[in-house]
Amino acid sequence: MSRSRRVEDLCRHLQQHPEAINLAFMEGAVSCLLAMYEETSDKVVQMQLREALALLGYVRPVTGRGIRILSIDGGGIRGILAIELLRELERLSGQPVYQMFDLICGVSTGALLACLLGPLKRSLDEVEELYTRLGTAVFTQTRLKGTTKLLWEHSYYDTEAWRVILQQNLGMQPLIAFSRDQAAPKVAAVSTLVSSDQLQAFIFRSYNHPHHVQSHYQGSSRYKVWEAVQASAAAPGYFQECRIGDMLHQDGGILVNNPAAIAIHEARQLWPQEPLQCVVSIGTGRFAPSMLSTRPTAAAAAAAAPDATSWMTKIRKFVDSATDTEGVHTILTELLPTHSYFRLNPYLTENVLLDDSHPDKLRQLKEDARMYLRKNSFKLGRAVTELNRQRRRHQRFIDWIHLKRDTHGF
């Protein structure tokens, strides 16, 4: 009981005074805590020790042959597509999502999925049922009421109701508390920081980086899980900006709607010596209207071309380019080996807005996902093969040596 109380006090102190982390590390806190972890068999103390070690930036080795990453795009209600794709991955691998990956990174609706399926370990059936309820509870609004709220509060939907729903379904625990569960993957939720001079990505993390490791992106692990999702999904015009402390956040999709590159960067900071075993990047659908077979002649097209585009057209094109997800995919395709990178992003039969929660639209999204799965079964099979590769014997031996080194302070 005394040991539990002291470790809990240490965790609380490090959360309240992050500047003390470097001093604790230099004073050998990691070795002390690891030695204590080996000595005790008390499950509660072990959970507290894992959180204390995570606060100090201690990162345990991955369980697979290399780093396994799941990245989930933003897209509102179209997250139903991601649920269907992940359901097939679970069926093929025989494992739940939280066991297949070491790091799950999401933006907007992807951040919600990352937290629910990763550290909270919700089943896909539970998450799908939650999405259906969310669509009814959040995205049901009369046009008059929505327009009034948009004018006065800069949000079409009820931000306070959305906040309550997140608190009820995600809980009030801080992100770093997820590190208490040894089986839980690390999670990162991306938002856009709009209170700084320039827009920049902000990462809500369930981990701290190792000592002397500096990420390219601002972020923290001290915020609550519901705050991370609200900030990441605060889409302009749909919900109010999310204020946390002295920072103002909006939807991460404003800057990064495909967080795969950020996920890889974060994983490299955590496990710099490990290879990338598998990166699965899941999109929320893309819509490409079919071209009519009878195209106008060049002269007719030139005559019909406007002299200038409207402001609405300019804004729409700007938003489309800013939230593009395939540009990141194209770059990663060139940089990563084909056997370790898999992009899953179905084509949609019709364009579905992020707040369109009509049951017919949801059924169509699921059907589009199933059609994509039928056509890409080979790709998913290859992804599962890579995800299931076990750690080699010599890797486990090196992990054991590193653990003894860290425990005894060599």
Catalytically active residues are 108, 251
Residues 402, 410: Cα–Cα separation, whole Å: 9
Tokens representing 82 are 């991601």
The number of helices, as runs of H, and strands, as runs of E, in the chain is 18, 9
The residues with which 390 forms a beta bridge, in sequence order, are: 64
Strands 242-244 and 247-251: antiparallel
What is the spatial distance between Cα 338 and Cα 342, in angstroms, rounded to a whole number? 8
For residue 131, which phi and psi values (nearest 5 degrees)?
A: -60, -40
Q: Give the separation between CA 244 and CA 278, rounded to whole angstroms.
A: 34
* Angle separating helix axes 393-408 and 29-39, nearest 10 degrees: 110
Residues 107 and 343: their CA atoms lie apart, in Å, by 16
The residue written with tokens 């900006």 in the block is 241
Under 8 Å between Cβ of 165 and 233:
no
